[in-house]
Structure 1
Amino acid sequence: MAQSTQAKKNRSVLVFDTEEVVATKLSSYIADLSKQYIGQKGNFTVVLSGQAEAYALRKLVDLYADSVDWSKWWVFWVDEKVVPLDNQYSNYKVTYDDFLSGLVNKIPTNQIYPINYTDSAASVAGDYEQRVVNLAKKGIIASTESGFPKFDFMLLGMGPDGHFASLFADRPQRYNQADWVTFLTDAPEPPPKRITFTFPVINSAANIAVLAIGKSQADTVAQSIGAVNGQQCVYPTAQLQLEANGKLTWFLDKDAASKL
């Protein structure tokens, strides 16, 4: 049985008994959003993370491979390591191995947007931003009134220090309010070269799901959701202030939620 709290408008926390149940409920949530947005506007723009979320995406394929209209999906990554796409650190590779490989010929390849790899993080970031800009100009990705892209859905994991994407607490990219995509060459965990959507882009998404599993994330979850509830928080999650129309849903197992 899920526990749910509504801390602020359009924000909720869902707690389930096991990782398996979390994956099942999250898959249902994504499938419902897909149907909703395809029905409303003819496509579904999805931003994925990679590593920690792979098991949930596998469940999505297991349960909905034949019922979701995958042909209307457009797939992006909230951040990426600047490595070749077949490198073990690549978020694209993890996502392909655990998710996209189960949907071969279902999502058109020209609707899947991994990075165009070069050794320059700055060049990779500039190229990725321009590709998203082009899709926004065509109306494939919606836009906010302030001009940032408004993706339909983002699936985020959370680092042990509470960071999202590659927006680390002690790196200046966290405070970038101008660019859509930024880069860093000195990430505090390997590999050092990364690109990432900025907080204004993350915050502009219509729907965000944050996934946290296990006791190792309990302290960070407690601090971060405390910030959502208006309490003091030392983690960057406090920066995740969504616009009025955005929805933020935390999907937790009971271990991750054990210190709430």
Structure 2
Amino acid sequence: MHSAAETILYSFSSSAELNDALAHFILKAQKEAIDKHSRFTVAISGGSLPKTLTALIGNPGVKWDKWHVFFADERVVPLDHSDSNYLLAMNTLFSKVPLPSSQIHAIDTTLLDDLEELADAYEKELIHEFAQKDSARFPVFDLILLGTGPDGHTASLFPGHELLAEEDRWIAYIEDSPKPPPKRITFTFPVINHAARVAFVATGEGKKEVLHDILDEPEKGLPSSRVRPAWPGHLYWFVDDAASALVRYKRTEFKV
């Protein structure tokens, strides 16, 4: 069993600095991925995360035609619903860049009434993208971008929920989310922890208590603390100084 990767914490004095650094980080990950296998596989979560990616808009270094984008979790709603992570990402970022629509992998909205079929169909999307190219038991994303809630949840993996123990499925469904809407699908920990890179983004004073618990007291077992990519994967946190105010974990200077 491989050991988990070291956690690297970057903390910035402003959101603008964080967003610029994250853009540089993504471009480096993109280059390494394209050099290795001519594509860049990315998964993103919802919430405030897409807003942190707007520094990529108009950036000539982004090879949008090589991107294949999945959603680390999605609310079981139509794609034009205000709760949709797809809609948020489209409105914030993807509608403003030349990313081919066929390479943005949304849920099959004809299956909204059957959570198990919906999750299975999205898992098949991943299998189609990864199975012929990778021999691993789980897909190996080049980059997964996540946020964390005040309760320490990430994607749609919530504290104390039975999905935290899921070891086999790539995509799981949840119909009792403690945060509305209750019905969602989500990547499982095995998928997240097989990524080449996972980067969390967390900003604002409202995250300072939970970041302390995640980074300084991982033994509490919050879902975000359970994101530990297996070696040779890497785990990064991009946070602002307000969010990291209580964190004792060592910071690393970000270098372009």
TM-score for the superposition, normalised by structure 2: 0.90
SS in 1 for 2:200: strand
Does the Cα contact within 8 Å between 1:43 and 1:74 map onto a contact in 2? Answer: yes
- Deviation digits for residues 79-118 of structure 1, max 9, x if unmatched? 0000000000000000000010111xx2222211010112
**How many matched pairs?**
242
Equivalences for residues 131-142 of structure 1 within 5 A = 131-139=125-133, 142=134
2:35 to 36, 39, 46: 39
Partners in 2 of 1:197 and 1:93 — Cα distance?
18
RMSD value over aligned CA atoms? 1.4
Q: Which amino acid aligns with 1:113?
A: H
- In structure 2, what is the equivalent of residue 154 of structure 1? 144
Does the Cα contact within 8 Å between 1:223 and 1:234 map onto a contact in 2? Answer: no
Partners in 2 of 1:96 and 1:56 — Cα distance?
14
2:162 to 160, 163, 172: 172
Please tell me whether residue 18 in structure 1 is matched to residue 18 in structure 2.
no
Equivalences for residues 1-260 of structure 1 within 5 A = 9-62=5-58, 64=59, 66-103=60-97, 106-117=98-109, 118-139=112-133, 142-144=134-136, 147-227=137-217, 232-260=219-247
Mark the runs of 5 or more structure 1 residues left unpaired by the alignment: 1-7
Q: Which has the higher contact order (CA 8 A, sep 6+)?
A: 2
Runs of 4+ in 1 over 6 A off after TM superposition: none
Give the CA deviation at 1:190. 0.8
Mark the runs of 5 or more structure 2 residues left unpaired by the alignment: 248-256
Identity %: 34
Partners in 1 of 2:101 and 2:135 — Cα distance?
23
- Deviation digits for residues 219-258 of structure 1, max 9, x if unmatched? 110110114xxx5335223322220111001001000000
Partners in 2 of 1:190 and 1:143 — Cα distance?
37
Q: Which amino acid aligns with 1:151?
A: F
SS in 2 for 1:221: helix
